[in-house]
Structure 1
Amino acid sequence: MPKKFIRRFLPDHEKVKNLRALRVFGTILHDPNLWHLNRRSAAGGFSIGLFFAFWPVPFQMWLAAAVAIPFRANLPLSVATVWITNPFTMPPIFYGAYKVGSTVLGTTPGHFNFQFSWQWVVDSVSTIGPAFLVGCGICSVVFATVGYVGLNWLWRIQVRRAWQRRSAQRQATES
């Protein structure tokens, strides 16, 4: 069942609430809906995390947490899902977003040599920036939607299978 699988990786909410760094949020983190793991909150948290994973900005986890709180989505899941884009997966994911953006805008993807400098970033904003940002926007919406629908669907299938298993066990014990 997805609930048992997801719960293995989530931290204890009492420990998280008592972290000194999170005291700035006050009692807002004490809402049980932010920590409860059900179909709606898990799908929402997963979707929010996927949405912000494709944003090329720092502090993606803070953004995901800030949106998960008013939507009452699972907070740890939304923050953890952002880590789909980590230093190892970011280059291929963002290159794919650039390709999507250049396809949508109808521009030919240009060849560029990456340089680890601020000047390269400033120069690239005018050349590859529009296609990259459009691609990131499209990918974030598409993957968030697919993630929400997919996890919702997977959750329902697992619940249905559990019901069928329990029903078969009851019938076997009655016979």
Structure 2
Amino acid sequence: MPKKTIKRLMPDHHTIKSNKHLQIFGDLLHNPNLWHLNRRSVAKAFAIGLFFAFIPVPFQMVLAAGTAIIVHANLPLSIALVWITNPLTMPAIFYACYIVGTWLIGAEEKPFVFEASWQWVVDSLSTIGPAFLLGCGALAVTFGIVGYFGIQFLWRLSVRKEWKKRANR
């Protein structure tokens, strides 16, 4: 059942409550509904986490946490799913965003060489920036929607399977 798997993989709520970046939410983190595992809260958490994983901004975890608090999604899952884009996966994911963006705009891919400098980032916003940002937005929305409905589907499928097992016993 997805609930057992998710519960096993989910970070501890004490760890999240003590995170220094999430202290801005204060007592809102003590809402017990943010820690429950049910179909709706998990589906919302997947949508939020996957959406913000594709948004290229600093402090994605804080944005995901704030959104999870507002819509009453599972907070630990929302935060954990943002880490799909980590230092190892970020280059491939953001390059895919750029490719999707060029496809959506209908532009040619422009060759570029990455440099770890602020000047390169500023210069790139005018050349590859529009395609990259459009691709990030498109993939964020797409994966958010797929995550939400995918979890809804898998959860219901799992419940049906459990009901059939119970009926056969």
**CA distance 1:100–1:160, shift in 2 (3 Å):** same
Distance 2:104 2:124 in 1: 19
CA distance in 2, matches of 1:18, 1:130: 37
* Structure 1 residue aligned with 2:78: 78
1:16-95 alignment to 2 at 5 Å? 16=15, 19=18, 21=20, 22-95=22-95
How many correspondences in the alignment?
A: 168
Structure 1 residue 17: deviation in Å?
Answer: 6.9
- Secondary structure, aligned partner of 1:93: helix
Paired letter, 2:142: V
Alignment correspondent of 1:165: 165
* 1-structure distance, mates of 2:110, 2:161: 49
TM superposition shift of 1:11 = 3.1
Runs of 5+ unmatched residues, structure 2 = none
Give CA-to-partner distance per residue, 1:9-41, whole Å, 9 cap, x none.
22343x247627355433211211100000000
Name 1:173's counterpart in structure 2.
Answer: none
Give the AA of the match of 1:2. Answer: P
By how many angstroms is 1:52 displaced?
0.2
Instruction: Extract unaligned runs of 5+ from structure 1.
Output: 170-175
Counterpart contact for 2:11–2:80, Cα < 8 Å: no
CA distance in structure 2 between the partners assigned to 1:162 and 1:128 by the alignment: 49
CA distance, structure 2, for counterparts of residue 158 and residue 130 of structure 1 = 41
Q: Percent identity?
A: 60
Alpha-carbon distance in 2 for matches of 1:99, 1:123: 19
Q: TM-score, normalised by structure 1?
A: 0.91
Q: Classify 1:18/1:62 alpha carbon distance in 2 versus 1 (closer, same or farther; 3 Å).
A: closer
Cα RMSD of the aligned pairs, angstroms, is 1.4
Residue in 2 that maps onto 1:132: 132
One-letter amino acid of the counterpart of residue 60, structure 1: Q
